Amino acid sequence: MLLEGKNIAKPVLGLLKKAKVEKKLKHIQEFRFDEKTLPVTEKDGKKSITFGEKTVEVGQELKPTELFALSDSIVVTAISKGKGFQGVVKRHSFKGGPKTHGQSDRLRAPGSIGMTTTPGRVFKGKRMAGRMGNDTVTVTGLSVMEITDTGIVLKGLVPGAIGGLVRIRRNS
């Protein structure tokens, strides 16, 4: 399924025109191949490569049924959901302070974060409160349960929001 974009930069439109793609695509992905292992051929002004029995031209739409098979091992990469600014209990699974012994307002606080005079600073990478999520997450070992020309059903958890962009590749 090709999604049409709204405001596309002129250099990208030039690339689409060179590849003889008529639609304004919402997302464009570049695939690089080693020319020694997969030689590039040119026919009628269009470059193409052949892997296995399949020949793919520049600008051609690839269907999931052409790239994957049932029970293939899949690697999925996407940007995880952003959670905003979170404290240490949610972000790093800290236990928090005791509910008794004079503590009334320190239940979810991180506690002590550093030493005294030496070294006299907080070390880089100290687990503290901050922005959580919105990271690139890769999940390996998913398997293909069902496959059609428009989509794939995977067994396992896929990172990211519903409707988000996901990169899927075969586990090699």
Say if strands 136-147 and 73-79 run parallel, antiparallel, or are unpaired: antiparallel
Q: Which pLDDT does position 1 carry in this prediction? A: 47
- Residue type for position 162: I
Higher pLDDT, 165 or 20: 165
pLDDT tier, 146 (very low <50, low <70, confident <90, very high otherwise):
very high
pLDDT tier, 2 (very low <50, low <70, confident <90, very high otherwise):
low
Q: Which pLDDT does position 3 carry in this prediction? A: 60
Query: Given CA atoms 63, 67, 71, 72 in this order, what sign does their dihedral have?
Result: negative
Using a pLDDT cut of 90, give the percent of the chain over it. Answer: 46
E runs forming strands in 36-118 = 40-43, 46-51, 54-57, 73-79, 82-86
Higher pLDDT, 139 or 26: 139
Please write the tens of the pLDDT for every residue from 23-80: 878 788 777 777 777 888 887 777 888 877 888 888 788 889 988 999 999 999 999 9
**Segment among 3-17, 73-87, 96-110 with least mean pLDDT:** 3-17
Q: Which pLDDT does position 67 carry in this prediction? A: 86
14, 59 in Cβ contact below 8 A? no
Q: Which pLDDT does position 47 carry in this prediction? A: 80
